[in-house]
Amino acid sequence: MSEPTSPIARLIAPRHVAVIGASGDPAKTAGKPIAYLQKHNYQGAIYPVNPRGDTIAGLKSYADVASLPLAPDVAIVLVGPERAAQAVRELAALGTPAAIVLASGYAEIGPEGAQRQRELKEAAGAMRLLGPNAIGLVNLTDKIMLSASGALEMADLPAGNIAVVSQSGGILGSLLSRASGRGVGFSKLVSTGNEADLDVADFVDHLADDPATAVIALYVEGLRSPARFRAAAQKAARAGKPIVVFKVGRSESGERAAVSHTGALAGADRMYDTFFAQLGVTRVLKFEDLLDVPIALAQGRKLAGRRVAILTSTGGAGTLVADACGLEGFETPPPDAATAKELARLQNSEFAASDRNPVDLTLAGLKPDLFRGMVGALLASESYDALIVIAGSSALGQPDLVADAVTANLAGSSKPVLVYMSPHAPHLIARLNRRGIPAFAAPESCGAALAALWRQSPAAPATQAAAALVSVPATVTAVLETARGGALDEAQAKQVFSAYGIAAVREIATRTPAQAGEAAHRIGGRVVLKALSSRIMHKSEVGGVQVNLAPGEVPLAGEQILAAVAKASGITPDGLLVQEMQGGGVELILGFHRDPQLGPSILLGMGGVTAELLKDTAVRLLPVTRDDAQAMVRELKTFPLLDGYRGKPPCDIEAVVEAILSFAAMARSLGERLREAEINPLFVLPRGQGVRAADGLLLLAQ
């Protein structure tokens, strides 16, 4: 145990623990923390605090916090919410670096509890708090249990290199118990509860430095500080430690339950997909994968490609696993000639089809030498980047056949090896995992594990280079000053976009129908005429737009527009906007939005009503890199429309990328002042001709 320095380090590996409100009865919740500390042979000092009784669980007990002989590294506060704040205040006064508050009755029960939680936080002052409404933390590396979780009743709590941070104590217990059942150990488990102070991000930051931790698994209901999480995740990425997250709230029912469970804040769940993806964090969608995927990653092997060999003694399961891998984008190609020859030589059997994958061993093939040879041949093969071995019901009678064969070959290869257990055999799964061979009961877990390995395999995503801050151009400052009620009119919005590098269609803002007519003649050709006003969001719905006008038709059309808008909306437009008719090109939507939880984002979408109904969009949270922008364009399902579809000239895709980056630069430079912005449609012209904003809106914070 290294000398703890930071409060979190002391919290995780304390030299002494005070237990406030301790009971001598291990059957009671208040008796469990000391019981678990003692059961797992905690080597530090334990100070029970309880006004009743001199001795608790064989330890000298203190009547109150003030009587403690020193400031403990950590205090577990077991008293109820009505007395917790006082205990926390006294601990802070004593100089205790961190306290864990287990009680519930705080933000998760509503406004009254939220107030109580604020008081608790105030009482803690500079002392760090874990909880409230938390089950504590478990340091398996050092065998220090600071928790009342019933899961600690288990005799078998192996240490391992996977850390878990969970916003739910119950889920922490569930994971601990499930991992134990499959022979998997953890380094640290932390339940952060309501996160009055310390939150998931704090522990990710700490675990990134923890030598005992190789993979970080998170159960999240909502992130309180996306910015700090981002920094912590980037630190973990630099340390080469993958993060796997299961986040609830994908459905409305789940989101509501999450909010009421720990008082978590609701954000748009789909934005979390983007958030995690941009950070290189693997989001799993099945709860079981929150264990299975870290197990696979903890093996520490890298995937160099997507070609998977499957070795099986039970054909159906081979098909099942091949399908699960295929659904995640992996291939199961047949062996190359040299490998096939080697497989045939090893098997020496009339009916062995050595030119296939899954490689199907007959029951007769389950001899240790042969099996070891087959594993070796497939791992050595140039045809494959990973191996999945399937254990059939024969494994029940030969429990070490697979593990022995794999172990014998692991040193000679750096490829990942996974095992799928076809029969119900949790004990064999545990046996394999204990030997460091990731083993799963679900075929889908093999696919999910490979997908996560593949995501980790390229160099971990470098910290995104902060784009240079673009200062606000003078023209923009001038335009923004004219904004009334936060909104700019269409012409002003496009002036701003143009100042950041996104050209508009050719247009002239005018005051009167007569001026509009003159402007139309100057533009030449047919034009679009629009009412100009910062107070009208949807011009066409109030008769504020006419298209395909000859210049001579413009004055009359202008009169009609002014009358129609006044009649429909009661608003007198400030003037009329005359625009060239933009023909051809592909229509996109480019938007800037602010997620209440995760912050500013850029959205790119295919234009037109069909695409809108089908929601063909790509989104990234800021900061957006050039790579992100490139990927966004290609992420559109209708990207082919931009790329020279059916003989049409390819569109100016680079200009779209630049437009995305311009929008991002605008968002950075305007900062909090920018509330919402959208260009719809953004016309993409043929290659070399750029893009043109044909309509736009821009809202500022008031």
Site for a copy of itself in 516-575 (CB under 8 A): none
> Quick one: 74 or 352, whose CB is closer to a copy of itself?
352
> Considering the complex, what minimum distance in angstroms separates the CB of residue 542 from a copy of itself?
12
Give whichever of 108 and 490 is closer to a copy of itself, judged by the CB atom.
Answer: 108
167 binds a copy of itself (CB under 8 A): yes
142 binds a copy of itself (CB under 8 A): no
Complex with a copy of itself: residue 150 or 305, whichever CB lies closer: 150
Q: How far apart are CA 642 and CA 606, in angstroms?
A: 10
Rounded to 10 degrees, the C-alpha dihedral 441/447/449/451 comes to: -170
Nearest to 290 by CA among 460, 156, 442, 157: 442
Site for a copy of itself in 272-291 (CB under 8 A): 286-288
117 touches a copy of itself (CB under 8 A): no
Ranges of beta strands (E only) in 455-561 are 507-510, 527-532, 545-549
Question: How many angstroms separate the CA atoms of 207 and 187, rounded?
Answer: 10
CB of 200 to a copy of itself, least distance (A): 14
**Toward a copy of itself, which CB reaches closer, 252 or 627?**
252
Q: What is the footprint of a copy of itself within residues 386-405 (CB under 8 A)?
A: 392-394, 396-397
Tell which residue, 543, 537, 535, has the closest CA to residue 571.
535
DSSP string, 88-153: HHHHHHHT-SEEEE----SGGG-HHHHHHHHHHHHHHTTSEEE-SS--EEEETTTTEEEE--GGGG
Relative to beta strand 575-580, strand 527-532 is: antiparallel
The single-letter DSSP state of residue 641 is: G
Q: Which two tokens stand for residue 9?
A: 């380090």
Write the single-letter amino acid at 362. Answer: T
The answer to whether residue 695 forms part of the interface with a copy of itself (CB under 8 A) is no
| Closest C-alpha among 700, 231, 227, 665 to residue 469 | 665
- 169 binds a copy of itself, rule: CB under 8 A: yes
Binding segment (CB under 8 A) for a copy of itself, from list 204-212, 592-600, 607-615, 653-661: 607-615
Indicate the residue among 363 and 563 with the shorter CB distance to a copy of itself.
Answer: 363
Segment 424 to 443, residues that bind a copy of itself, using CB under 8 A: 424-426, 442-443
Inter-CA distances, 314 with 321, 390, 461, Å:
11, 8, 39
Contact with a copy of itself (CB under 8 A) among 197, 385, 444, 580: 444
**182 near a copy of itself, rule: CB under 8 A:** yes
Q: Which residues, numbered 464-483, are part of the site for a copy of itself (CB under 8 A)?
A: none
The one among 155, 459, 474, 613 contacting a copy of itself by CB under 8 A: 613
Q: Which is nearer to a copy of itself, 384 or 497 (CB)?
A: 384
Q: Which two tokens stand for residue 373?
A: 């040879």
Nearer Cβ to a copy of itself (305/608): 608
Kindly tell me which residue out of 422, 495, 533, 662 binds a copy of itself, with binding defined by CB under 8 A. Answer: 422
Q: Are 659 and 682 in contact (CB under 8 A)?
A: yes
Pick from 588, 585, 565, 586: nearest CA to 575: 565
Residues 333-352 that bind a copy of itself (CB under 8 A): 351
Number of residues this chain uses to bind a copy of itself (CB under 8 A): 96
CB of 328 to a copy of itself, least distance (A): 8
In the shown chain, the binding pattern of residues 88 to 107 toward a copy of itself, with x for contact by CB under 8 A and - for none, equals ----------------xx--
Helix, strand, coil fractions of the chain, as percent rounded to 5: 40, 20, 35
Nearest to 276 by CA among 374, 200, 181: 200
| Among the listed residues 210, 616, 628, 678, the single contact to a copy of itself using CB under 8 A | 616
Which one of 128, 224, 261, 494 is in contact with a copy of itself (CB under 8 A)?
Answer: 261
Contact pick of 53, 58, 95, 110 for a copy of itself (by CB under 8 A): 110
Sheet containing 282-283: which strands, arranged edge to edge?
144-147, 136-139, 186-191, 159-166, 215-220, 243-247, 282-283
Which residue's CB is nearer to a copy of itself, number 80 or number 525? 80
CB of 11 to a copy of itself, least distance (A): 21
Residues numbered 295-334 forming contacts with a copy of itself, rule: CB under 8 A: 310, 314-320, 322-327, 330-332
User: Applying CB under 8 A, which of residues 408, 645, 654, 675 lies at the interface with a copy of itself?
Assistant: 645
Of 337, 363, 462, 556, the one binding a copy of itself (CB under 8 A) is: 363
Candidates 171, 296, 309, 405: give the one binding a copy of itself (CB under 8 A): 171
Contact with a copy of itself (CB under 8 A) among 4, 26, 158, 254: 254
DSSP 447-474: HHHHHHHHHHSSSPPPPPPPPPPPPPPH
Determine, following the binding rule CB under 8 A, whether residue 270 of this chain makes contact with a copy of itself: no
In angstroms, give the least distance from the CB of 386 to a copy of itself: 13
On whether the CB atoms of residues 28 and 78 are closer than 8 A, the answer is no
Position 329: which residue type? G
Rounded Cα–Cα distance for residues 441 and 501 (Å): 54
Nearest approach in angstroms of CB 57 to a copy of itself is 20
* Helices 81-94, 111-124: crossing angle, 10 deg rounding: 20
Among residues 166, 187, 347, 409, which is the contact residue for a copy of itself, using CB under 8 A?
Answer: 166
User: Minimal distance in Å, beta carbon 240 to a copy of itself?
Assistant: 29
DSSP 163-229: EEEES-HHHHHHHHHHHHHTT--EEEEEE-TT-SS--HHHHHHHHTT-TT-SEEEEEES--S-HHHH
How many other CB atoms are there within 10 angstroms of residue 521's CB atom?
12
